[in-house]
Structure 1
Amino acid sequence: MRCRQILFTFLLLSGIPAVYGQVDTTQPGSYAFNLTDCIQYGLAHHHDVVNARLDINFSQEQIKEATGKLLPHADVNASFTDNLKLATSLIPDIANGNYDKKIPVQFGTRFASAVTGTVNQAIFNSDYFLGLKASRVYGGLAQKSYTRTAIDTRVAISKAYYAVLASEENIRLAKSNMAQLNKTLSDTKSRYDAGVSERVDVDRIQVSYNNIVTDIENQIRILVYTVQLLKFQMGMPQESKLELTQTVKDLNAESFVTDTIDYQVQDRVEYSIQSTQIALDELRLKSKKMAYLPSLNAYVNYGFNYFSTTFGSLYKTGFGASALGLTLAWPIFTGTERLHQIRENKITLEKSHNDLGYLSQQIKLEVSNANTQYQNYKAQFVTQKTNMELTQGIYDRIVLKFGQGVATSLDVTAAESDLKQAQVTYVQALLNTLISKTDLDKAMGKIK
């Protein structure tokens, strides 16, 4: 146990980055990123962002598919018939002039075949044109969904990034405490050996030192996990090595300006998505109303018919046939089904408008709550930083008095415990401030 503590102390005090030693670095891929780099990597590799980008490509193909319905459609039909037994019909006996007598006759040939090519062109079809417009709206919806996914990814990466920096700050402060306490412990042991201090003083400070060592070990494991979480949010393989090039001091949380709550609900991508949903509902309603209109199509075909009493001579002679025409379909009355469908779509559209109004109120409430949280956490952060500095001063003076024989070891351990608690509270307040600022920016639609 004693050897392990000495080795661990040496690693920490010498500045060796043992914290990343637990991360698997056997796989290729080593990165040194700041927050911007992490976000850019995540936007290129995160699972949800990649799928959202594929959804955009999918919607573009749907637009092309809808456009393709307006182009001419051509097809070829062929048939072959073997009349094993020709159908018999009864007709008047015209040849003998006996019109009252019916005689059985058979028409046609045993073998018949036909090949016909047809080209159809839609001239007017409300579903086709509205479908094309709807597909374009869907394309815009896919783009907005991608934006929302990208925003969520930015937020998740930022929060995970801040958690890593907070863990690193916890370790840095704990290492500083350990260095101070290690010196105090060494001096106390020297005084004990000289007969100036008592054994209880050494043991009390040794207990505090052991607790710091264990606490740092725990913080290292937490840091390893937070790095893994950050890589997950970025879509980075866990086998890759990631180191951050920033510290909490680089973020300078104290300089965060309390932004004036100046925003519009339209800045939120969710508002735009709901507006798009209203546009889609309006198109569905319009489609049902226009279903009363006729559809007009043009066609042209050309083909050959083949007849023969024997299969071998079936395709020796063909008889051409061609036609050019228009087809008009007009659903005059379809019961009351379409009328009720129109009313159903009107109700759906009204609900979408209600949802948009509700969303507006929800966004305003989110902004108010996020601003309250941010203001509270920032005030707490400023206070806790001051408290930590004051507690550090108290600890330093008590250690000095202890060296002069004025204070007791109990005073040292109590001051050390207060300092550790103040540092933990400070780091948590710092993390809360960073996260609440991110939540506020997201609520106001400032994260794009």
Structure 2
Amino acid sequence: MTAVLTTVAGSAPAQQGAAAGGPAFTLEQCVQYALRNQTNVVNARLSRQMSTEKIRETRGKLLPHANVTGNFTDNLKLQTSLIPDFTGDPNNKIPVQFGTKYSSGVTGEVTQTLINSDYFLGLKAAKVYDELAVRDYQRTAIDTRVQVSVAYFNVLVSQESIRLVDANLAQFGKTLKDTRARYDEGVGERIDVDRIQTSFNNVETQRANLQRQLDYTYDVLKFQMGMPVDSAITLTEDIRSFTDDMPDSMNYKFMDRPEYAMQRVQVELDRLNLKSKKLEIIPTLNAFVNYGFNWFSEDFGDLYKKGFGTSALGVRLTWPIFTGTERIYAARQREITLQQSQNSLNYLAQQIQLEVRNNWTQYRNNLASLNTQQKNMELTQGVYDRVVLKYEEGVATSLDVLSADSELKTAQNDYINALINTLISKVQLDQAMGKIKAE
């Protein structure tokens, strides 16, 4: 197929359209530009940075925590208590009030976690989340590669369409000129001139439409790259650059697909969630040390004249011995979730295999169609050339020329459609087999 494509695409210009004159880009350069500037990729990169900060946040929980607590109280009415009259009748209760009208205190405390299963599991989970963010970035980058490649191919195919139409215009222009000359000399008919002029006008309109379509494909390419749409860009490659390296086998590993890696990470996260729930029975042990001052006074102005220090050092143990049955059933739910994730992983492996087979079939069908349509286009081109020659010799009519031209246009359109379908299906096959990498 490569040799045939060379004869058709070899003379295609490297650049056509209103976007000419901008910086030159190969496909790989377009992809690299997109990986730096495309919004989805930039956001995926930011998510990757966020996961790094999440790990640091989790690590920070293992460091000592210090806080200061302050309070001020105005006892508008002190609470009254009844105490026995120890100086007289013990059965007689005397109302008394303890405390002062104003009180204030400030305490600083430092705590350090000694045992807490959630902290250490959380640190491991944060690393798994980081891997998930990496895989998500890879998937986004691969999708961007595919989108940029498809947009790039659409531009090249639009250029090829214009090249073929320009060739038709040149052929028709010569035929129209010769027909008008014969009519002016009195050896031709006006009806032949009008027929060929009508067809020539249609080709000119088609050329203008294709030019507008080409301009739009450039805009789509720049959008997929993350480049301002009003920028100028030049493509340095042609169709032939991408038809010499067609896959000829289905050698692949479904583990190379980022989707599979992401699902495998999800299984690990669900396993950690289950483990976290089961380890809730483990006690939490914290060490603490604090120091503070308390102030008391009946008059607000004298409140902070004299303070009383206080300090404590100790450990605090929390052991959830029994919390009902909710932990048991919550753990069972997480076991089910883990099993679902594992089932999804197995299902995804089968789905990838089926997707590869489907894309392989589509690619082979499109490739066979491209070879056929290319041969058909060459054959109809030969038929057209012979009919024009006969027309110039006077042994064919203008209707024969128009009929041959119609068949040539149909063959060219079929070729263009087969060409873009083959290129796109090749990219989709590479993506399905995990051969397209993020970087």
Bin of the TM-score, shorter chain as denominator length: over 0.9
2:9 paired residue number: none
1:199 deviation in Å?
1.3
- After superposition, the Cα gap between the structure-2 partners of 1:18 and 1:244, relative to the gap in structure 1 and judged at 3 Å, is closer
State how far apart, in whole Å, the 1-side matches of 2:316 and 2:369 are. 76
- Deviations along 1:7-39, whole A, 9 cap, x unmatched? xxxxxxxx9x8731xx6x9xxx94321211111
State which drifts further: 79-88 or 187-196.
79-88
What is the TM-score when the length of structure 1 is the normalising length?
0.92
Q: Are residue 377 (structure 1) and residue 366 (structure 2) matched? A: yes
Q: Are residue 40 (structure 1) and residue 40 (structure 2) matched? A: no
State how far apart, in whole Å, the 2-side matches of 1:409 and 1:261 are. 51
* Within-5 A mapping of 1:48-447: 48-94=40-86, 96-251=87-242, 253=243, 255-447=244-436
Amino acid at match of 1:39: V
- 5+ unaligned residues in a row in structure 1: which ranges? 1-14
- After superposition, the Cα gap between the structure-2 partners of 1:18 and 1:166, relative to the gap in structure 1 and judged at 3 Å, is closer
Amino acid at match of 1:318: G
Amino acid at match of 1:76: V
Amino acid at match of 1:279: E
1:107 deviation in Å?
2.0
Are the aligned partners of 2:16 and 2:159 in contact in 1 as well (CA < 8 Å)?
no
State which drifts further: 235-244 or 260-269.
235-244
- Deviations along 1:60-110, whole A, 9 cap, x unmatched? 11111111111111100111112233222222222x343232222222222
1:6 paired residue number: none
State how far apart, in whole Å, the 1-side matches of 2:353 and 2:17 are. 42
Q: SS of the residue aligned with 2:305?
A: coil
2:5 paired residue number: none
Are the aligned partners of 2:78 and 2:101 in contact in 1 as well (CA < 8 Å)?
yes
Q: SS of the residue aligned with 2:99?
A: coil
State how far apart, in whole Å, the 2-side matches of 1:178 and 1:206 are. 11
What is the TM-score when the length of structure 2 is the normalising length?
0.94
Q: SS of the residue aligned with 2:295?
A: strand
State how far apart, in whole Å, the 1-side matches of 2:79 and 2:257 are. 74
State how far apart, in whole Å, the 2-side matches of 1:263 and 1:279 are. 24
Cα RMSD, aligned residues only: 1.5
Q: SS of the residue aligned with 1:100?
A: coil
1:259 deviation in Å?
2.5
- Deviations along 1:336-391, whole A, 9 cap, x unmatched? 10100010000000001110111011000010011111111111111111111111
State how far apart, in whole Å, the 2-side matches of 1:19 and 1:86 are. 89
Q: How many residues align?
A: 424
State how far apart, in whole Å, the 2-side matches of 1:268 and 1:40 are. 20
1:12 paired residue number: none
Q: Give the one of 9, 13, 31 matched to 2:23.
A: 31
1:140 deviation in Å?
0.7
Are the aligned partners of 2:117 and 2:276 in contact in 1 as well (CA < 8 Å)?
yes
Q: SS of the residue aligned with 1:325?
A: strand
State how far apart, in whole Å, the 1-side matches of 2:293 and 2:217 are. 75
Amino acid at match of 1:348: T
Q: SS of the residue aligned with 2:248?
A: coil
State how far apart, in whole Å, the 1-side matches of 2:324 and 2:95 are. 47
- After superposition, the Cα gap between the structure-2 partners of 1:258 and 1:92, relative to the gap in structure 1 and judged at 3 Å, is closer
Amino acid at match of 2:24: A
State how far apart, in whole Å, the 1-side matches of 2:191 and 2:22 are. 49
Q: Are residue 19 (structure 1) and residue 17 (structure 2) matched? A: yes
- Deviations along 1:125-154, whole A, 9 cap, x unmatched? 111111111111111101100000000010
- Deviations along 1:378-425, whole A, 9 cap, x unmatched? 111111111111111111111111111111111111111111111111
Amino acid at match of 1:368: R
State how far apart, in whole Å, the 2-side matches of 1:87 and 1:387 are. 104
The percent of aligned pairs where both chains have the same amino acid is 58
Q: SS of the residue aligned with 1:76?
A: strand
State how far apart, in whole Å, the 2-side matches of 1:103 and 1:380 are. 108
1:167 deviation in Å?
0.7
State how far apart, in whole Å, the 2-side matches of 1:82 and 1:427 are. 88
State how far apart, in whole Å, the 2-side matches of 1:60 and 1:183 are. 68
State how far apart, in whole Å, the 2-side matches of 1:175 and 1:257 are. 29
State which drifts further: 259-268 or 78-87.
78-87
